[in-house]
Amino acid sequence: QVQLVESGGGVVQPGGSLRISCAAAGFTFSSYGMHWVRQAPGKGLEWLTFIRYDGNKKYYEDSVKGRFSISRDNSNNTLDLQMDSLTVEDTALYYCAKDSEGYCNSPGCSHFGSWGQGTLVTVSS
């Protein structure tokens, strides 16, 4: 079955950088668009970014555009999120999520098919 396992979370100082990853298994990773969604403690869900199945198209929420960068390695079935210029407002549980349909070209093409358990990023001095 589909497995998405996030890793790389931790504590980072304001202004710092962190790279988190998502290891995928149980499906043909190279056929599906992938997303990152975060949830601040006690708050709601916030969609952050989408990458097309082949990695050639990326979309970002305005709040992270220019600071966060999504990438994927289809040969190793991994999804990454590089986060720079972090602020305390970036403190959250970060989920990777898979499209329910393959070969989507944009974030709104399909709904979320599967989610990982999340990795916690804490920005604090």
- Residue whose tokens read 């991994």: 78
Among 29, 32, 50, 68, binds other proteins (CB under 8 A): 50
Please give the C-alpha separations between residue 28 and each of 7, 33, 76, in angstroms, as whole numbers.
Answer: 20, 11, 11
By the rule CB under 8 A, 91 interacts with other proteins: no
- Interface region with other proteins, contact rule CB under 8 A, candidates 18-26, 56-64, 69-77, 81-89: 56-64
Does residue 115 contact residue 106 with C-beta atoms inside 8 Å? no
Among 9, 55, 59, 77, binds other proteins (CB under 8 A): 59
Dist CA 104 CA 113 (whole Å): 13
- Interface region with other proteins, contact rule CB under 8 A, candidates 10-18, 21-29, 43-51, 71-79: 43-51
Looking at the Cβ atoms of 108 and 125, the one nearer to other proteins is 108
- Classify 97 in phi/psi space as left (phi over 0), alpha (psi -120 to 50) or beta: beta
Element (H, E) at 3: strand 3-7
By the rule CB under 8 A, 27 interacts with other proteins: no
Q: Which residues bind other proteins (CB under 8 A)?
A: 35, 44-47, 50, 59, 61-62, 95, 100, 106-108, 111-113, 115-118
